[in-house]
Amino acid sequence: MSKSSILFCILLFGCMVAGPALGAGPAKMKFVQAVYEGEQEIGLKYPEGVACTDELLIVADTANNRLVRYTFSNRTAQPMEPEIPIISPIAVEVNSKGEIYALDGRDKRIRIFNPDGTEKGSLSPKGSPVSRKLMPRSFKIDRNDKVYILDLADGVVLVLDAEGNYLRHVPFPAQAGFFSDLAVDRQGNIFLVDSTEVAVYLAGPDADGFDLLSKGLKEYANFPTGIAIDKGGTIYLLDKHGGSLIMLNRDGSFLGHKFGYGWKDSQFYYPSQLCISEGGTFYIADRGNSRVQIFISEE
Amino acid sequence: MNSGNIHSLLLFAAVCVLVSLSPAHAQKDLKLKEGAGGEICLSCHERMQEVMDKPFVHAPLLDGDCVGCHNPHTSNFEMLMAAPAESICYTCHDSVVPEDARSVHKVVVEGQCTLCHDPHSSDNEFNLLKKGAELCYECHQALAGRIKEAKYSHPPVRENCLDCHAAHAAGKNEKLLDAASPELCLQCHETDKETFKKLHRDYPVDTADCTSCHDPHGSNTAAMLYDNVHDPVAKRNCEHCHVSPSDSQPFALKAPGYETCMACHYEMITDALNQNNLHWPLVDGKGCINCHSPHASTQKKLISEPMLDMCGKCHSDTVARQARSATEHPPIAEGQCGECHSPHSSDYPMLQKKETLIELCADCHEWQTHTTHPIGEDFVDPRNPNVTVQCASCHRTHGTEYKHFLYFSTANELCVQCHVRFRR
């Protein structure tokens, strides 16, 4: 074997090993639609939350006190009936059975709705050792329908199974700022975004505490309130006050940022949360612009 | 010539260069007169003789070493300084700031040593420009006013700030303190007397932070409590909020977070929790004391510090935006965040006090309710069917880099965002 062949093999092997470790990198995002209204042609008003699958978009239409569902196909979102009434929803998620979980901003309860929109009940943790009344700021549901609740009252991320049984809790890190949102990746790693210190913390699937993953991001973001992970492991922070999307490598290093403050397509005015589907569609609750913007990834 | 010889020659040449560059060699070469380092300077700078008669003289001057700080020929810096004024002192005084210091005096960081010290001589020790607290009051004027006017004063504060604070930097403590509270306070105050214990309701306050109740710089309230005292503290009803002093954790609260405060402020907190948009720190582990001082404060409503500083702890980006803004928005610049926002909760976005920005802004800008660009529910923003034209369509209330906190540098550029047919 010649020297050049050996060198080529080494480079190829290096790329195979280092490629996945470094992550696939941020997806190129292409704007496809801005969603302005629901089925009853009532315009969205300050929507704060979005949940998604590859075929479904659910919007927490906060100031209209409703959840609005949309089918998403051929790069187009079409509203579905019926809309689901709920007071001031501020976060929404959907599990593998199509059940919708929504955080009621006034009662601070997570309410559960059947796929047909009828109410199933409220999420009430069973067997949880955390003592105070739950005060969820945000929550996420993973691929196994485990529920991860960002509980401000006890300063923990509370992990429940699909039936609401306590599995574990992970305390917030000490000496941090204020946590607004969390994300869970395919491996069960939990990520927290610290809005005031502009930092990201990580707890592994079995960890009993959080470690700082990324700090010193104030240069790039003002006040991030949303966090999501794509299937390649890239971390996305939604900067509410800066109107932009910050991308971090899975090791927390800064990759870049997109978008900016404004009213036009691909601009944001105090956005609040984002959701990334398995297929790589990005849905961003553009709260101040009273709309949801949809982007598809072009790898 | 073999390589060994070459190496020897190079080594010899290097030694020669080093010897020729040594100060002694240089001075000899320069054929300097006796006293050229300083004494000769005094032959022209006669006033310096008078300066040197003062009791405390800077050592280089005393040693006749003017060139320690000044270049006798030319300089890029004022007063023919040999290095920038903000760094020259550090060439000798390089240990003024301990490594990993917890707090450093701003003027030290900035190298403004001459704000406190005379570089030549002084009537005061350490070449200080003034004696004791009077020197500190030159900059800390607001605090000086409070100290001088305080009905109940703290004697060491009136005499010498350095009784408690380090002048340059503190290795382990905030605010340049020599030690943290209560260690610092206990250096003078005895806590084992019965009166002391009785006044503090038998709580072991010698293990607590004295400055959570007492203003170390003096106040107008008895016992040097901060001027705004929480009612249970004023009445010495510590057990309203804390468990018994005989408890293993005597300073523990009776309930976590805001729940302790609900015992008295039930209505206010319940009302706050029933609004659609909550200021989330209210319900975290610390609760109300994220923003309020539970015992006493210099600020009204027991806010722990001036509002701009307090809100800026979390919302530093917003405060910084106002600081950078080409036009000042008085409520923000003056720290009146509560003029527009409800600090606990609101039914409206961004914790606004009123439903629409138009209503909110009209509280001060009344004219805009009758003489302005069309705004309000009847005027849809051409850029977005779900948004109507309102104040924030053109102005970013916390400031921008442009005048009148407009989003764009010129009015034309702003207007054509909507009036696109006029775009050139």
Q: What is the pLDDT of residues B38-57, one digit of tens each?
A: 788 888 888 888 899 999 99
pLDDT, residue A216, reads 87
User: Looking at residue A1, what is its pLDDT?
Assistant: 52
Which band of pLDDT confidence, cut at 50, 70 and 90, is reported for residue B7?
Answer: low
Nearest C-alpha of chain A: how many angstroms from B396?
A: 11
8 A C-beta contact, residue A45 and residue A64 = yes
pLDDT of B65 above 50: yes
Which of the residue ranges A145-149, B31-35, B261-265 would you say has the lowest mean pLDDT? B31-35
Dump the DSSP string for B193-234: SHHHHHHTTT--GGGS-GGGTB-TT-BSSGGGB-SEE-HHHH
Q: What are phi and psi of B112, to 5 degrees?
A: -95, 55
Asked if A196 lies within 8 A of B281 by C-beta distance, the reply is no
Band of residue A26 on the pLDDT scale cut at 50, 70, 90:
confident
What is the percent of chain A with per-residue pLDDT over 70, rounded to a whole number? 91
Interval A77-103 mean pLDDT = 96
What's the pLDDT band for B372 if we cut at 50, 70, 90? confident
pLDDT at residue A238 is higher than 80: yes
pLDDT for residue B14 is more than 70:
no
Contact A263 B384 (CB under 8 A): yes
pLDDT at B368 over 90: no
| pTM (two decimals) | 0.83
Q: How confident is the model at residue B370 (pLDDT cuts 50, 70, 90)?
A: confident
The answer to whether A295 contacts chain B (CB < 8 Å) is: no
What digits encode the pLDDT tens for the residues A113-161?
A: 999 999 999 999 999 998 788 999 999 999 999 999 999 999 999 999 9
Residue B143 has pLDDT above 80, yes or no: yes
- Cross-chain Cβ contact A263/B256 below 8 Å: no
Q: Which residue of A has its CA nearest to B388?
A: A289
- B125 and B99 in contact (C-beta within 8 Å)? no
Closest-CA residue of A relative to B355 is: A63
Please report the residues numbered 82 through 121 in chain B whose beta carbons come closer than 8 angstroms to any beta carbon of chain A: none
A153 in reach of chain B (CB within 8 A): yes
Between CA B284 and CA A79 the distance in angstroms is: 37
Mean pLDDT within B350-357 = 95
B17 vs A264, residue with greater confidence: A264
How far is the C-alpha of A87 from the C-alpha of A156, rounded, in Å? 25
> What confidence score (pLDDT) does residue A132 get?
80
**CB of B209 closer than 8 Å to CB of B181:** yes
Question: What pLDDT shows up at residue A2?
Answer: 58
Nearest to B256 by CA among B222, B209, B288, B234: B288
CA distance A240 to A294: 17
The pLDDT of residue B12: 58
pLDDT at B32: 77
How many Å lie between the alpha carbon of A216 and the closest alpha carbon of chain B? 14
Query: pLDDT tens digits for B381-412?
Result: 999 999 999 999 999 999 999 999 999 999 99
DSSP-assigned letters across all residues of A222-260: S-EEEEEE-TT--EEEEETTTTEEEEE-TTS-EEEEE--
**Residue B26: is its pLDDT beyond 80?**
no
CA A80 from chain center: how many Å? Answer: 22
Gap between the Cα atoms of B398 and B341, Å rounded: 12
- Mean pLDDT of all residues belonging to chain A: 91
Cβ pair A224, A198 in contact under 8 A: yes
pLDDT at B182: 96
Instruction: Kindly state the percentage of chain B with pLDDT values over 70.
Output: 93
> pLDDT category, A276, cuts 50, 70, 90?
very high
- A to B CB pairs, distance under 8 Å: 79
The predicted structure's pLDDT at residue B20: 46
- The pLDDT score that the predictor gives to residue B21 is 47
Residue B140 has pLDDT above 90, yes or no: yes
Query: Mean pLDDT of all residues in chain B?
Result: 91
Residue A244 forms contact with B (CB below 8 Å)? no
Q: What is the mean pLDDT of residues A43-57?
A: 96
Distance from A279 to chain B by nearest Cα, in Å?
28
Q: Which has the closest alpha carbon to A151: A165, A135, A167?
A: A135
Contact B72, B80 (CB under 8 A): yes
Q: Taking CA atoms, what residue in B is nearest to A219?
A: B317
b/e A82-117 (16+ beta carbons within 10 angstroms → b): ebbebebbbbbbbbeeebbbbbbbbebbbbbbeeee
Higher pLDDT, A175 or B108: B108
Beta carbons within 10 angstroms of residue A12's beta carbon: 10
At B100, list the tokens. 């990993």
Note whether A290 and A46 are within 8 A (CB): yes
Given a cut of 50, whether residue B23 has pLDDT beyond it is: no
Nearest to B277 among A105, A132, A263 (CB): A105
Task: Give CA–CA dist A102/A90, Å, rounded.
Answer: 7
| Arithmetic mean of pLDDT, B164-172 | 95
Q: For residue A17, give how far its alpha carbon lies from the nearest alpha carbon of chain B (Å).
A: 40
H-helix or E-strand containing B103? strand B103-104
- The whole-angstrom distance between A44's CA and the closest CA on chain B is 7
Note the maximum CA span of chain A. Answer: 71
Confidence of residue A15 (pLDDT cuts 50, 70, 90): very low
Residue B236: predicted pLDDT: 94
* Span B59-88, average pLDDT: 92
Q: What distance in Å separates residue B277's CA from the closest CA in chain A?
A: 7
**pLDDT single digits (tens) B144-157:** 999 999 999 998 88
Question: What is the structure's pLDDT at A21?
Answer: 44
A264 touches chain B (CB under 8 A): yes
Alpha carbons B93 and B108: distance in angstroms, whole number: 11
**How do beta strands B56-57 and B121-122 pair?**
antiparallel
Q: Which helix (H) or strand (E) holds B4?
A: helix B3-21
Instruction: Tokens for B220, please give them.
Output: 């107008």
Distance CA B212, CA B293 (A): 7
β-bridge pairing A291-298 and A281-286: antiparallel
Nearest CB neighbour to B280, from listed A62, A178, A291: A178
* Spatial distance between the Cα atoms of B316 and B309, rounded to a whole number of angstroms: 9
pLDDT for B263 equals 94
Asked if B399 has any chain A CB less than 8 Å from its own CB, the reply is no
CB atoms within 10 A of CB B250: 18
Q: B199-208 pLDDT, tens per residue?
A: 999 999 999 9
What is the structure's pLDDT at A259?
Answer: 95
CB spacing of B317 vs A222 below 8 angstroms: yes
CA distances from B200 to B223, B263, B296 (A): 11, 22, 15
Taking CB atoms and an 8 Å limit, are A137 and B280 in contact across chains? yes
Residues in chain A: 299
Asked if A135 lies within 8 A of B284 by C-beta distance, the reply is: yes
Query: What is the DSSP code string of B256-302?
Result: STHHHHHHHHHHHHHHHHTSSEE-GGGGSSSGGGGTB-SSEESSGGG
